[in-house]
Structures are given as C-alpha cells and as structure tokens.
Amino acid sequence: MSLGVVIAFFSGAGTITVGEALRLRRKPRLSLELVEGLGPGRVAGAQTAYARLAVRNSLYSDGESGMVVRIEKVRGGTPENAEKLRFLESSYLAWTKEDRGNPNVPPKPNPISAGGSRQIDLAHLNSKVPGCLIVDIRPQTESGNYMNYLGAGTFTFELTLNGNDAKTRRFSADVVHDGAPWDGRQTTAGDRLQLKDLRRI
C-alpha cells in the first residue's frame, strides 16, 4: 500500500476531507458582461437591433446546471412609464436566439460550463415599431398588451442571476433610448439605443 496523508477538517457536524473542501470552493461563479454593439436580427420581416449581455461562468469553478436571469427592478424614464416599470419586475429575460419559437412560455434554465458563457437579450429596437424600446421579457405579454414597450429615457435595470448551483448575484445596467424612430439600418441603431454602465450591486 502506498504511503499517503489524509487531512480532515473537523466541525460540529463531522469531518470534511481536503478533496471535499476544495470541491466546495469550486461552486459556479457567475457574472455579467456587456456585449459590444447591438445584435442584428429580424422579427416578422422587420429589422431588429438587440442590446445584449453575456452571462459568464468562472473558468476555475464547476459548471452551472441551469440558470435564468430575472429583472428585479427598473427605474427611470418619465412618470408615464411607472406602471410599465412595475409590470416588468420579476420578469425573466430571453436567451439570445433560444426563446424565439414560443415567446409566451418562460425561458428554459440553461447550463453554463466552467469558463463558458451565454448571451441574453435585454431590449431591442424594431423598425416597424417606431419610437419604442421593447424589453425582452419571457413569458411575453399577451397579444395587444404592450407593457414591455417603453418610450424615451434612461432606464436602470437591476438584474439577478439565479442558478441551481451558483450563489445568486445582482447586477445593474443602464439602457438609454432616445425615443426617435429607427430606420432599420444597423449602422444607426447605436444612435437610438445604448447599453452601458454595467456594475455589480
């Protein structure tokens, strides 16, 4: 039998081996990052431009088995937006290119490997919906209900990252929308919509 050393940590609940202790330290560690530029797309024949964030897991952690991103609170804009901002609270955001088939269902919790990332859609412009900022919540509002449509303003979104294995983390980001009609050209989308000042809270 080879010579080995076994080290254990003692606690009131029993012992934890070194291997177990190291594994506890490898819990998923999730963060949000800004995605440069606005992502192009099409919805029902209309040009769209998406403000996106990337959810990233630390390279030095275990994978996350399933997570979602939720809007906790939204502030800003004009007083006319107050009811809509309250409506958006506790809504989930759509995973980029994954929650398009049936927007009336909640987003599927997604796994993220160690060092991996996934993008989410926070809000977008639609060339056929002039002057509106459309927040990409899931499940989407019912047909004819436009509570996820906002006008001009600077909006601060407080977001939570909720996973099966990772500790919940909270972030804040500002969405700036000038309220002017968008001509559908990707080169001008950044004049109408900006996503900036991401920070952990």
Structure confidence by residue, pLDDT tens digits, 143-192: 678 999 999 999 999 999 999 999 999 999 999 999 999 999 999 999 99
| pLDDT over 80 (residue 87) | yes
- Within 43-125, where are the H helices? 82-88
Residue 4: inside a domain, yes or no? no
Residue 5: inside a domain, yes or no? no
Residue 96: inside a domain, yes or no? yes
> What integer pLDDT is reported at residue 77 of this predicted model?
85
Q: Which helix (H) or strand (E) holds 39?
A: strand 39-43
Residue 23: inside a domain, yes or no? no
Residue 7: inside a domain, yes or no? no
Over residues 103-121, the pLDDT tens digits come to 788 899 999 999 999 999 9
103 by Cβ neighbours in 10 Å (0-12 / 13-18 / 19+) ranks as: middle
Least confident range from 47-51, 142-146, 164-168, 195-199: namely 142-146
CB 76 within 8 A of CB 156: yes
Residue 16: inside a domain, yes or no? no
Q: What is the pairing mode between strands 30-34 and 137-138?
A: unpaired
- Residues spanned by the domain of 73: 28-200
Three-class secondary structure assignment of 114-175:
CCCEEEEEEEEEECCCCCCEEECEECCCCCCCCCCEECCEEEEEEEEEEECCCCCEEEEEEE
Please give the average per-residue pLDDT across 68-86, as a whole number: 93
> What integer pLDDT is reported at residue 14 of this predicted model?
56
Whole-prediction pTM value? 0.84
Residue 15: inside a domain, yes or no? no
> What integer pLDDT is reported at residue 15 of this predicted model?
61
| pLDDT over 50 (residue 142) | yes
Q: Is 192 helix (H, G, I), strand (E, B) or coil?
A: helix
With a pLDDT cut of 70, the percent of the chain lying above it is 86
- How distant is the alpha carbon of residue 128 from its chain centre? 25
- If pLDDT is split at 50, 70 and 90, which confidence band does 100 have? confident
| pLDDT over 90 (residue 89) | yes
Q: Is 79 helix (H, G, I), strand (E, B) or coil?
A: helix
> What integer pLDDT is reported at residue 11 of this predicted model?
47
- Our count of domains for the chain comes to 1
Residue 201 structure tokens:
């809270």
- If pLDDT is split at 50, 70 and 90, which confidence band does 78 have? confident
